[in-house]
Amino acid sequence: MLAESLALTAALFTIGVIGVLVHRNAIIIFMCVELMLTAVNLTFVAFSRFYGAPGQVFVIFVMTVSAAEAAVGLAIIIAIFRHRQTINLKDINLLRG
């Protein structure tokens, strides 16, 4: 089942990358990042069957980091929305060259 898990991981990660590139809605982009993180977790779990359980410790770390990232990122989105009344990345181009 290792090869199947890795193929599924690759597919899910790629879907996340495509979502980040295609969408302009900041919340959906955030959810795509979460999908990529979860896909990587599947790799850790699949390998931990062959390399031993310590691989699953890293899944805990990835989940903690993604929870922290979601909290801070959503707070940033709320702050931007309060400021500009939109979360469309097309309208948030202050740093554009």
- What residues numbered 26-65 form the site for another protein, per CB under 8 A? 27-28, 30-32, 34-35, 38, 41-42, 45-54, 56-57, 59-61, 63-65
Give the shortest CB-56-to-another protein separation in angstroms.
Answer: 5
Rounded to a whole number of angstroms, the minimum distance from the CB of residue 97 to another protein is 18
Using CB under 8 A as the binding rule, whether residue 14 contacts another protein is answered as yes
84 lines the binding site for another protein (CB under 8 A): no
Q: Which two tokens stand for residue 21?
A: 């590139």
